[in-house]
Structure 1
Amino acid sequence: MIGRDRPAESSISVPARRTLAARLDWNLVRTYRVVAEECHLSRAAERLFVTQPAVSQAIKRLQTQLGYTLIRRRGPRISLTPAGEEVYRIARAVFADMSSLEMPIEGVAEQVVGRVKLLSVSRVHSVAYNEFLIDFHRRHPRIELEVEIMRGHDVLMAVSQNTASMGIGLCRVDTPPIERRLLIPQRYALFCGPPHRLFEAADIDIAALRHEDLVTFIGDQLGDTLSPLTLFRENHGFQGRLAASSSNLEEVCRLIMCGYGIGFLPEHAFRREVSLGMLRKLPPEAGLADVDIQLLWHRERPMRPAESLFRDELLTAFGPARAEDDRV
């Protein structure tokens, strides 16, 4: 176990309590928040783009600074101590407040000034979305836009926990307290790459796919954002082994193109690769499941003027007609 038991309240002097905030490394608190959300050191390291030893060392240092144990190790997974649960609650609230900070700047000629941080899944292919970004920047040049690419699961978690103002991601069902609006309809289909034995095959029957090796997304499991794919796989009796996986859409595509197995991809995002002969679409011709891209935000989170403007204008730009155009 890392660290030591929490000392009695009376053993912590008042001056020590007063100086804790001044000497505390808030980068360590940020790392701990991600660890607490993932309950898994490797996944936390992947999300933070650092190594697992770096995450473990950060937790050790934070426990040393605080003076009590935050986590318990159980193999690759972790659990939070009672003190750890309380620190996580405080850290989540602190970072929710910090993420909504905005430097007050005097407007110029009544222009809206501010910053919008947008979480997004990768490969958001949409002519309408590109046109919106061009037009929005032309009309609001003093709004800074920061886009952070994340896994669909992480976008959903960040918005639901009120640590981000909005995100573009996957959310199939109503998930309080998240508001969601359809942006880009997308249908997933099965694909294989040139090295795969089915790439040149004729008249492929879906039954022939049941024992093929699979390339999947990490987190493609029942109840997750991509669960329709898993449901289809199970309903049609797929029994192939998992040959490769990634949390990144580009890497899933690469592994399929390199012949590791057949895999699920959004059709509209990979039309170019199909036309260039880098991918082949497999049965069923109609595709597998709709996993639409949604605009997500927390219904109880107050938004700054720049954030509200971006959200409202994006929703206005994406009426039903524009969404149908992207499905074609």
Structure 2
Amino acid sequence: MTDLVSQYDPDRVARELDWNLLRTFVVLAESHSITDAANQLGLRQPSVSAALKKLEDRIGRKLLDRSPGRYALTHAGRLLYHEAVEINGSVLRLSTLLRDLTDEVQGNIKITAASHVVCPVLDDALARFHSNHPNASFSIEVHSSADAIAEVAAKRASFAVCLVKDHNPKLEYRRLYREYFGLFCGPNHPFFGRKDLTVADLAGQSSVSFETDRLQDVLRPVTVMRAQAELGQKITGVSSHLEEVRRMIIAGLGIGPLPLHVAARDVRDRQLWQVPPYDGLPAIDVHVVWNPATVKNRAEELLLQEILTAIETTPMEVRTYR
């Protein structure tokens, strides 16, 4: 019994654990095989297998089930992965913070965003920040909203600008703006240019949409709108990127949903045509999401505060795009 208690003693585990083993384990957990992980790490497969065994010996638990035809985390592996992702993110950010340490505001700000976020309030905040701190740099990566939030939760991103389905209690959220979705067709569609259409005319038409356009997902109101127009049965294309949904609509693959303010220019240029319904359109909120447990550099802190101040001082009706 004494040996068992000693094996799982927190002080002993913390004292003997090699942080590089945790980094290797994170890659293993996110890979499809030992070979895949070895390729990502630039190591030989036996070295990665040995690192996994060493970590399992240190922890005293089997972490990865590699039985024939199976490659999956055990329960202990899933628990460790959840903690290791945060630790790995903190270590990576620590090196960045030390590198960027100076009296001048500099350093890189990594933003993850859903595709085609169109928000003048956000653009103005970025412009003001850059004017005041020209030596700070930005990297903006486009992800699905779920992946954008995962990057923030793992401390791999400064903050995210995206749609939100469920609130993670470890993260902070502020509504940035609200957009309304309508249905559109492209120039080659027989409905293009018609002003006499009703919702009933859309029944049975092919449609394209977003991967999150499902009753249980973040675009549920859009799903309901498509269902009411009886467009749900023939989906000819889906994408997580707004630009690709737009492309499919313009190409004539089907009728599809887009934010009204994003589609406005294409409507003026005769690339898109709005079809019914025209009233009671679904509203979708876009949020700024950040992780309060992430140690931010000065540039990240100041930009986030700039954006939050803009949100607080701009009335919601100004941040609502119809």
Distance 1:324 1:19, change over 3 A: closer
Mapped partners of 2:282, 2:164: distance in 1: 13
The answer to whether structure 1 residue 321 and structure 2 residue 315 are counterparts is yes
Cα RMSD between the aligned structures? 3.6
Counterpart code for 2:181: Y
Aligned residues: 292
Q: TM-score, normalised by structure 2?
A: 0.75
Distance 1:239 1:292, change over 3 A: closer
- 8 Å CA contact 1:128–1:322 kept in 2: the answer is no
The equivalent residue for 1:298 is 291
Deviation at 1:323, TM superposition (A): 5.8
Structure 2: tracts of 5 or more residues without a match? 1-6, 8-15, 54-61
Deviations 1:111-150 (CA, angstroms, capped at 9, x unpaired): 3333322111121223332222121111112322222211
Distance 1:20 1:114, change over 3 A: closer
The answer to whether structure 1 residue 107 and structure 2 residue 93 are counterparts is no
What SS does the aligned partner of 2:151 have? helix
Mapped partners of 1:295, 1:21: distance in 2: 31
Distance 1:229 1:248, change over 3 A: same
- 8 Å CA contact 1:216–1:242 kept in 2: the answer is yes
The equivalent residue for 2:178 is 185
- 8 Å CA contact 1:92–1:163 kept in 2: the answer is no
Mapped partners of 1:100, 1:245: distance in 2: 35
1:257 pairs, out of 250, 255, 258, with 250
Distance 1:291 1:193, change over 3 A: same
Q: How does 1:170-181 map to 2 (within 5 A)?
A: 170-171=163-164, 174-181=167-174
- 8 Å CA contact 2:206–2:234 kept in 1: the answer is yes
- 8 Å CA contact 1:186–1:266 kept in 2: the answer is yes
Deviation at 1:81, TM superposition (A): 2.8
Structure 1: tracts of 5 or more residues without a match? 1-8, 10-17, 36-40, 42-52
Q: How does 1:102-181 map to 2 (within 5 A)?
A: 102-105=97-100, 107-108=102-103, 111-171=104-164, 174-181=167-174
Counterpart code for 1:204: L
Distance 1:323 1:125, change over 3 A: farther
Distance 1:239 1:295, change over 3 A: closer
Deviation at 1:29, TM superposition (A): 4.9
The answer to whether structure 1 residue 70 and structure 2 residue 64 are counterparts is yes
- 8 Å CA contact 1:220–1:227 kept in 2: the answer is yes
2:82 pairs, out of 84, 89, 100, with 89
Mapped partners of 1:278, 1:302: distance in 2: 45
- 8 Å CA contact 2:177–2:319 kept in 1: the answer is no
Deviation at 1:262, TM superposition (A): 1.0
Matched-pair identity in %: 29
- 8 Å CA contact 1:180–1:297 kept in 2: the answer is yes
Mapped partners of 1:74, 1:326: distance in 2: 54
Mapped partners of 1:34, 1:279: distance in 2: 40
What SS does the aligned partner of 1:260 have? coil
Larger CA Rg, structure 1 vs 2 = 2
Mapped partners of 1:180, 1:296: distance in 2: 5
